[in-house]
Each structure stands twice: as structure tokens, then as C-alpha cells.
Structure 1
Amino acid sequence: MAAAASRSNVTRLLKIIQSGANSCPCHSHAHSTPATAGAFSSLLKYGRHYASAAETTDYAFEMAASNIRFGPGVTSEIGMDLNNIQAKKVAVYTDSTIAKLHPLKAVVESLEKHKVNYVVYDTCRVEPTDTSFKQAIEFARKNNPDAFVAVGGGSVIDTTKAASLYSAHPEADFLDFVNAPIGKGLPIRKKLNPLIAVPTTAGTGSETTGTAIFDYEPLHTKTGIAHRALKPLLGIVDPLNTRSMPSQVHCSSGLDVLCHALESYTALPYNERSPRPKDPIERPAYQGSNPISDVWSLHALKMVSNVAGSYFCWYWIW
């Protein structure tokens, strides 16, 4: 009963976040719709569903994530990483703010030290749109790199994923790989050029996922591209790269952690998703909650609650 009660509390908080207005640019969307209680199920419903001709729901899930390297100053190794994969020309993506700060400087110093040929695209948009994605894609197609580096937050990393994907598919229409029902949601069957992500925030986790989120301007809605092929080859998590985050970005990153943990924990369980994919390559990047993701979701929620509790105690004491 404890698990069910915990999930009920999480669901209630998620509904408040989804329906309440807030000033955070990353978590206030007029098109958001409140969650429905029918979308959530108890942990007790987890159980292996074996394949049979009569079943239509899925019976399996995959844990697919990028390799992660963590450590203060580890950004200095990126030039060696690119030499190790024999990259001949690297496209470095960032935004106009990060372009002036330590994270990009550290990346460029490593590339030059190890004689890596590179070009820089420094106009990634924060909260990307289909238009900004297309501009980044055009840069990749024009320069024809054989490896990518993303230096920035989730918006930069997602933009770089899109650039890598569509530069490998010059014949593709933009909506071919965009999630249905807005796009066709086609599976990615080509191997993409390697992407190394250097996150400068600590909230989105885009350096580990196969998703790229953007605002689709013609319909004024948020959608994305989701496939395991989009996952970065490596995520370089260097604490030194988060020191320059403004206070607003710190807050936004914390809300990212909270919302992602809430949504993961209350997602439809993997074995209730329908229809079951006919081919494993068609299994989506997000497959629903599962016993492993629940462990990490609850851990994240506990961490957020402890940090928030400490902050409010400090605030009232002082």
C-alpha cells in the first residue's frame, strides 16, 4: 500500500504542476493539458507479459543510455576522444551565451591541442523551434562533418541531435522523423555520425537520451524526435561547466529534475502500452515506467525534496 500511496501523492503534485500557471520559461506552456487519473497504475501491476498471438500490449522494455564520463576538468579529454574515433571534421554546436564562457573555451582548447579540425555553430536557440532546427541542419549539410560536439544545455544538445540526424538523411522531409501525429515518426535505420555531448546544465539529461524536443511553430505546440539512434556516443559531465549557470537556469534545471522524475514515475507502465511493436527497432525511446526507472525516479524525488526542505529551512532561519 505504501507504493500506491506514494504514487497517488506524486500524481497529485504532477497535476498541480501541469495545470498551474508559473513563470518558468521551460515549464509553463499554455497548451499543456491536465493529467487524468486513468493514465496511472499501481506498481503491483508490473509483471512479465509473455508474447502470444492474442496479446496487443508490449511485454518488454529496453534500458538504452549513453556512456557517461564524470569528473572536474574532464572536458580536456574531448580532443583525444575525437582522435580515438578518427574524426576528420567536427561540427561544434553551442549558443551565443556559452560561446563566450569557459565550457566552449575548454572544448576548443582540447580540440586545438590534439589537432582536431572543427567548425563552430554558435546560434542554437534556447527552447528550439522547427525553424531553428532547420537552420542548424543546413549548417551541418553545408559543412559535412563526420562527428558532432554539443556544448550547452538541453536545447543545444537536442539541436545537435537533429543536425546529426538530418545531415545523414539529405533526402528526408523534416516531418519524416518527427513524432506522430504531427510527423510520420519513421524509425531511424541509418547509423548516425558520433555525437559527444558536453552539458552545461544539470536538469534535462539530454546527454543520455535519444530524444530531441522542439516547438513546432505552425501548430503552436511542443513535439520532438525520439529514437535510440539519437543518443550521444558519450556524455562528458564536468562540474566545472555548470559554474557559470545564472540563478534562473539553476532554478529551471531543478524544476526539470522534479518534472522528469514525476512524469517518469507516473507514466503508463511499459506492459500496458499498445500496440506492441512488430519489430524491435520500432519500440519507442520512451517505453513507459518500469521497475528500474521507478528506482531512479523515487531517488530523484527524494533528493529534490531534501534540497527544497533545506532551502526553506535556511530561508526562514535567515
Structure 2
Amino acid sequence: MDRETHGNAYPILPDGEEGFTVEAARMKFGPGILAELGGDAVSLGMTRVALFTDPRVAATAPFAMALESLKRAGVDPVVYDRCRVEPTSASFLDAADFARDGGFDGYVSIGGGSVIDTAKAANLYATYPADFLAYVNKPLGEGIPVPGPVKPHIACPTTCGTGSETTGVAIFDHVEKQVKTGISSRHLRPSLAVVDPRTIDSLPPGAIAATGFDVLTHAIESHTARPFRSRPRPDSPTARPPYQGANPWSDIGSLQAIRLGGQWLERAVNDPDCAEARDALMFAATLAGLAFGNAGVHIPHAMSYSVAGMNHSFTATGYETVDPMVPHGISVVLNAPAAFRFTGPAAPEAHLCAAEALGADTRGAVPEDGGELLATRLISMMRATGLPNGLSALGYGEADIPGLVKGAAAQQRLLTIAPRPVSEDDLRGLYADAMRYW
């Protein structure tokens, strides 16, 4: 798609950005591929590794296979199984203490995005010790750039959603501020992603739904982001931000991830015996991670951080065995229909293209219909997979909107990727629209 005719509210700058940088992670994919983990670790020079996971994953057959592979290759794995689902500043600090004391020359993470992000943070603070907020994104943190490369990290996802195995972002819940934020640096991108679809065979349907919708929102936000050529040209190549805006390379991965999600997500949730559906979602998650790690995400994710950060009493279907919280994918997708209705007029062709890829009936549609068609298709999929009916189903109401807006407005790194400017008044309207969909 020609981004110059994208209809984007941010115009192409005549003296602005001319290029984009692709920093894709190394990745291997296939059923049973975790059996090769030991050889992968040796190839990266690992001899003593910090093996990050959580108690539930640690009890699974894929984890046992991975652990045996490491030991068989002569690698000494030291297990850290205290990773928290939806990590906090405190859980990141605990992991960092473990990493600093261990004398590790490499890291392996086996789990969902929470585990992978915890390993990224532990690796960072063990390699370059600093006050915790030093590397955290502004305005909640100081936003100091990561000084350089960290130790090798192999990320092995066990959910079909976050794409964290391919990105340089680590997200956590800043409990004191009641908002999620993160650390972002190309140096945090794992050295290798080992993606084994068999790891999600035992994932409950509710978790498949939550993580699967994270895939879709990653991909749609990446595809509908402001174009990379609407950004100012950086002073130097190293100053180009990790989130560069939509570009021809990111569109390849984002559109295919949207197609796979539209075709297979409902079946993966509602038919637990369909391995083909779950395999497709696992691949879509990695594709979406590659795309948004390059282009960026915008309004649904910016809104999600306060949705999750202000609510620690909700118990989602499929997450009954963990502490009450709003799973990341749910906190994101509940904002998505409202957000895409809002951004549709700024990038109509991109929204219509995404709607068609997701499976919406676009016969006779014009580009200006794209945002509404995309929102309608997402809502239909949400209903078919048993997701909550908007933010009100989490317990939010009109009185909570000011607090939600405050948290979202702090996510300027994400909001500036949207295809149109977003004010606090706009955010108030978006949260109101997201309260209920049917």
C-alpha cells in the first residue's frame, strides 16, 4: 500500500524521515523445537544460564523437555520460577536481585510475555545496575537509554499473544502509580526466539482468547499506525526510535497476522482439539511481534495500561489459578473497537484493509467505512469467544474515567504512533465508548 495516499492525519514531511530500520529477531518455529534448546544455548556461548519461568509452566512437559535439553548439552541452568503473571515493579526487582547474584552468562525464558519481560528486565539490571526508574519510559521514569548490549537471551513463548520474544520492550505494573509502563530498547530484544506451538496445548480457552486478541490488536495497531515518513528525520541513525511508524516491511507481518487471527482465533478458543488453529495463532503472535516491534502500537495499548493498573480485583476466565488482575490482552482489546472507530477517518484505506484481512464483509464498502467495519468485526469475535462486554464488565464506570485518562495520557510514546493526534478530551470519549459494546 502506498503510504503517501494513506489518508493519514499526519502528512508526509518533505524534509522528514526517508528510511526505516528493520531489526528483526532471530526466530525458529516448529512443534517440538524446544528439544533443540540446549544446542541453541551452546551456540550463543552460554554455560551457566538463568532459566526464568512461572510455577504453572514449570510443571509442564515442554518445560521438562527444555530443561533436559539444556542439561544434556552441558549447560548449567538455575531455575527462577517466581515470575509473576502481569509483573510489577516489585517482581522485576526481585528477579534483578536473583540475576545479579547468579553470575550468569546467559538467560532463557520459558513462559508468556510476563516471564519473557521479567527476564529482559533482570538481564538489564544485572548487566547495568541502576536505580529502578532509570531505564523506565518517561514520564514515569527517567528514560535513560540502555548503555549497550546485554547478555544473550533465548525467549521461548508459551502463549499465543504478546510477541515479546521478538521485541525490545518489557512491561510492568507500577502499582504505586496505578498504571502500567515499561522499558524500551533495541538491546532488550532476545537473541533468539524459539517458538514451539506444542507449548500451548494445555492453555485454557480463556487464556487463548485473551492472548489471541493481543495478537490482533498488536497487528491492527501496527498496520494503522502513522506512516514512518510522517516523522522528523533523526539527527543520527542511532536516534531512530524503535517504534518508527507503519512501513512496507511491518505491513507484511501485520496483515498476515490479522488474516491468521481472523481465520483461526474463534476456532482455537472454541475447539480445544484443533491443533491447526493453535499453531496458526502461535505463528501469528510472532509475526505481529515482529511488525509492532518495528512500527509500534498506539491507542488501544496506551488505554490498556490504566485499565489493568487500576483494577486488581477482576478474575478473568482461564486465569482462576492466579491472583485477580486484568490480563493484558483483555485490557487492550476492550478499548480497540472504540479506538479504531476514532482512528478510522485518519487512515481509511489502512482500516478497510485491516477489516478485510480480519474477515469483515467489505463488499461495496468505501475506505471511509473501514473503522466501523473493523470495530464491528472485532466485537463479533469478542462475543463469539466469551470476552467481557466492555470496560463496565470489569467494574469500571463513568466515575473512573478521569483516572483512566490520566494513566493513558502518560503513554505519549504510544499515543504519538496513532494516525491522528489524541487529546485528553478524546481519551475521555474513547473510554466512555468502550464501556459497553452490545
**1:199 counterpart (157, 179, 197):** 157
182-191 or 211-220: bigger deviation: 182-191
TM-score after normalising by structure 2: 0.57
Of residues 207, 228, 247 in structure 2, which corresponds to 1:249?
A: 207
Note the alpha carbon deviations across 1:10-57, whole angstroms, 9 max, x for none: xxxxxxxxxxxxxxxxxxxxxxxxxxxxxx8179x66xx67xxxx5x5
- Structure 2 residue aligned with 1:234: 192
Distance of 2:155 and 2:266 partners within structure 1: 32
Instruction: Give TM-score scaled by structure 1 length.
Output: 0.78
What residue is the counterpart of 2:87 in the other structure? 128
Change (3 A) 1:277 1:135: farther
Q: For the structure 1 residues 3 and 226, does the alpha-carbon distance in structure 2 shift closer, same or farther, using more than 3 Å as the test?
A: closer
| 2:73 counterpart of 1:106 | no
Which secondary structure state, in structure 1, belongs to the residue aligned with residue 55 of structure 2? coil
Residue 164 in 1 paired to residue 131 in 2?
Answer: no
**What are the superposed Cα offsets for residues 148-174 of structure 1, whole Å, 9 maximum, x if unpaired?**
00000111101100111111012x111
233, 245, 248: which one aligns with 1:288: 245
Report deviation, 1:142.
Answer: 1.1
Number of equivalences: 271
Which of 253, 270, 293 is the equivalent residue of 2:228? 270
Q: Check the 8 A contact 1:211/1:285 in 2, yes or no.
A: no
Q: Secondary structure at the match of 1:104?
A: helix
The one-letter amino acid paired with 2:177 is L
Q: 2: CA distance between counterparts of 1:60 and 1:221?
A: 34
Do the aligned partners of residues 271 and 134 (structure 1) sit closer, same or farther apart at CA in structure 2, a change above 3 Å counting? same
Give me the identity figure in percent.
Answer: 44
Q: Which residue of 2 aligns with 1:305?
A: 262
* 8 A contact 1:148–1:164 mirrored in 2: yes
Matched with 2:358 is: none
| Match in the other structure for 1:63 | 22
| Cα displacement string for residues 114-157 of structure 1 (whole angstroms, at most 9, x for unaligned residues) | 12112110010111111111111111011121100000011110
Task: State yes or no: 1:41 paired with 2:8.
Answer: yes
Picking from 132, 141, 163, the partner of 2:100 is 141
Q: Secondary structure at the match of 1:97?
A: helix
In structure 2, give the amino acid aligned to 1:216: H
Q: Is the 8 A contact 2:32 2:196 kept in 1?
A: yes
Partner amino acid for 1:135?
D
Gap runs ≥5 in structure 2: 271-379, 385-438
Distance 2:168 2:257 in 1: 20
RMSD: 2.7
Q: Do residues 213 (structure 1) and 171 (structure 2) align?
A: yes
Q: Which of 1 and 2 has higher RCO (CA within 8 Å, sep 6+)?
A: 1
Cα deviation for residue 235 of structure 1 reads: 0.5
Query: Is this contact kept in 1: 2:51–2:80, CA < 8 A?
Result: yes
1:182 to 133, 137, 140: 140
1:187–1:281 CA contact under 8 A, matched in 2: no
In the alignment, structure 1 residue 83 sits paired with structure 2 residue 53:
no
Question: What is the Cα deviation at residue 308 of structure 1?
Answer: 5.5
Q: State the distance in 1 between where 2:251 and 2:112 align.
A: 25
Residues 103 and 200 in structure 1, CA contact (< 8 A), matched pair in contact too = no
Name the structure 1 match of 2:56: 97
SS at match of 1:142: helix
- Residue 115 of structure 1: which of 74, 77, 97 is its match? 74
Report how far residue 99 of structure 1 moved. 0.9
Distance 1:181-1:80 versus aligned 2 partners, 3 A rule: same
Instruction: Check 1:2–1:278 CA distance in 2 against 1; reply closer, same or farther (3 A cut).
Output: closer
Deviations 1:285-314 (Å, cap 9, x if unpaired)? 21111122123222222332233677789x
The residue type paired with residue 90 of structure 1 is V
CA distance in 2, matches of 1:77, 1:193: 20
User: Counterpart amino acid of 1:293?
Assistant: S
Deviation for aligned residue 1:182: 1.4
One-letter amino acid matched to 2:33: V
Helix, strand or coil at the partner of 2:70? helix
Instruction: Output the amino acid matched with 1:124.
Output: C
CA distance, structure 2, for counterparts of residue 213 and residue 62 of structure 1: 23
2:325 aligned residue: none
Runs (4 or more) in structure 1 with deviation over 4 Å come to 1-5, 308-313
- CA deviation after TM superposition for structure 1 residue 266, in Å: 2.0
How many Å separate the matches in 2 of 1:3 and 1:307?
29
